[in-house]
């Protein structure tokens, strides 16, 4: 399904391509120019405009879905998502800071680098504050982790809003900030795909390496510890992988919500809760979902006015409410 959707996403757009034209363009590599003039235009559209964007959408969807699976297992909560610890808002603050300062004009990699640095610094702040408070007050590390993440999320979001307010007189800068915060994959190139790929591969490797530990964490931290799992070390290692995945996705696509919440549940319906199957299935389902939503965004507004993050929120918010209403209360509630 993913391969078929990738072909459809490359073929469809403001100027639709026939299957024959698409296959003819794909016969040439990106740096090879066809001899026919008409095929040169098709080759440019396929290799340099649509294919990088489609692949970036697939990688972003896979990254957010993998991060969501791990967050729901670490926190024992089906309503958890990658943005709950402030990593997404930290990435947004890092990107907006570079947009406001004018550094974004220095190269295509500057804003992704700022987002990536902001996400990792946000994770570092969450981990340090959690360890200090949990050790001092003897609280549950998971409860402290959640409370710290919520507080930092609010702080980073407020700082981002302040930067946008201060830059409002510069229309182009403020417009770029707002559009970036709403998520989107406009004008993404092979450079962005290259920025995404290492983070997604590293995040998947870290998650798959700890697949057994993720299974054991589902039964509770005490049970996992009795079975030989070093819970604190595994938790921080998994959170590092979540931060890398989320930072890579936000660095390229901006803030795209609800993918990490929806996709793990869909994948569990297909393959069950065992992480050896759940992790690859979630990555594929996340890629499938975001490529489909990005294609819908392109078809609805070729000029990019309908943002990717808006559509994922329109899909994800009702699903979140459905999960919230059907969830049985637990003893912890």
pLDDT digits (tens, 9 = 90+) for 147-156: 888 899 999 9
Q: Distances from the Cα of 308 to the Cαs of 128, 136, 194, 216, 241, in angstroms?
A: 33, 42, 21, 35, 24
Query: Does pLDDT of 211 surpass 70?
Result: yes
Confidence class for position 281, pLDDT limits 50, 70, 90: very high
Answer CATH for 35-72+81-324 from 3.20.20.70, 3.40.920.10, 3.30.450.40, 1.10.3470.10: 1.10.3470.10
Query: Does pLDDT of 169 surpass 70?
Result: no
Q: What is the pLDDT of residue 218?
A: 83
Q: What is the pLDDT of residue 328?
A: 55
Q: What is the pLDDT of residue 332?
A: 47
Q: What is the pLDDT of residue 287?
A: 97
What is the chain's alpha carbon radius of gyration, rounded to the nearest angstrom? 21
d(CA 19, CA 27) in angstroms, rounded, equals 12
- Tokens 């050790």 locate to 135
Give the residue-averaged pLDDT of 299-307. 84
Span 54-80, pLDDT tens digits: 999 999 999 999 999 999 988 888 878
Sequence-ordered list of residues with C-beta below 8 angstroms from that of 130, at least 6 positions apart, any chain: 141, 144, 145, 148
Extract the tokens encoding 192. 């962005």
The count of residues in the chain is: 333
* Range from 128-142, 210-224, 282-296 carrying the lowest mean pLDDT: 128-142
Query: Does pLDDT of 32 surpass 50?
Result: yes
Sequence-ordered list of residues with C-beta below 8 angstroms from that of 297, at least 6 positions apart, any chain: 184, 304, 306, 307, 308, 311
What's this model's pTM, rounded to 2 decimal places?
0.90
d(CA 16, CA 302) in angstroms, rounded, equals 12
Q: What is the pLDDT of residue 54?
A: 96
Q: Are 61 and 289 within 8 A, CB to CB?
A: yes
**For the stretch 111-139, what's the b/e string if a residue is b when 16 or more beta carbons lie within 10 angstroms of its beta carbon?**
bbbbbbbbbbbbbebbbebbbebbeeeee
d(CA 196, CA 181) in angstroms, rounded, equals 18
- Burial level of 320, CB count in 10 A (0-12/13-18/19+)? middle
Sequence-ordered list of residues with C-beta below 8 angstroms from that of 1, at least 6 positions apart, any chain: 288
Give the residue-averaged pLDDT of 42-62. 93
d(CA 146, CA 83) in angstroms, rounded, equals 11
- Please report, for the chain, the start and end positions of each structural domain, with discontinuous segments joined by +: 35-72+81-324
Q: What is the pLDDT of residue 139?
A: 55
Q: What is the pLDDT of residue 140?
A: 61
């Amino acid at each position: 399904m993913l391969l078929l959707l990738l072909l459809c996403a490359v073929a469809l757009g403001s100027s639709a391509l026939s299957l024959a034209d698409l296959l003819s363009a794909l016969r040439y590599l990106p740096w090879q120019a066809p001899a026919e003039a008409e095929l040169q235009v098709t080759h440019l559209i396929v290799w340099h405009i649509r294919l990088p964007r489609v692949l970036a959408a697939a990688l972003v969807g896979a990254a957010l879905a993998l991060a969501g699976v791990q967050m729901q297992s670490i926190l024992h909560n089906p309503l958890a998502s990658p943005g709950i610890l402030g990593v997404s808002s930290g990435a947004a603050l890092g990107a907006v800071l570079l947009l406001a300062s004018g550094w974004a004009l220095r190269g295509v990699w500057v804003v992704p680098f700022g987002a990536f640095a902001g996400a990792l610094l946000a994770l570092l702040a969450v981990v340090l504050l959690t360890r200090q408070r949990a050790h001092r007050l003897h609280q549950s590390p998971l409860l402290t982790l959640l409370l710290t993440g919520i507080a930092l999320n609010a702080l980073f979001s407020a700082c981002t809003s302040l930067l946008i307010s201060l830059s409002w007189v510069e229309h182009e800068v403020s417009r770029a900030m707002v559009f970036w915060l709403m998520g989107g994959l406009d004008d993404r190139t092979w450079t962005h795909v290259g920025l995404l790929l290492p983070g997604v591969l590293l995040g998947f490797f870290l998650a798959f390496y700890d697949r057994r530990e993720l299974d054991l964490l589902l039964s509770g931290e005490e049970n996992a510890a009795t079975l030989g799992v070093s819970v604190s070390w595994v938790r921080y290692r998994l959170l590092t992988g979540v931060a890398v995945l989320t930072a890579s996705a936000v660095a390229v696509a901006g803030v795209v919500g609800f993918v990490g919440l929806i996709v793990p549940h869909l994948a569990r319906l297909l393959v069950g809760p065992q992480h050896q199957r759940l992790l690859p299935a979630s990555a594929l389902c996340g890629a499938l979902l975001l490529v489909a939503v990005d294609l819908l965004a392109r078809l609805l507004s070729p000029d990019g006015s309908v943002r990717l993050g808006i559509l994922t929120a329109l899909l994800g918010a009702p699903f979140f409410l459905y999960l919230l209403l059907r969830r049985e209360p637990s003893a912890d509630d």
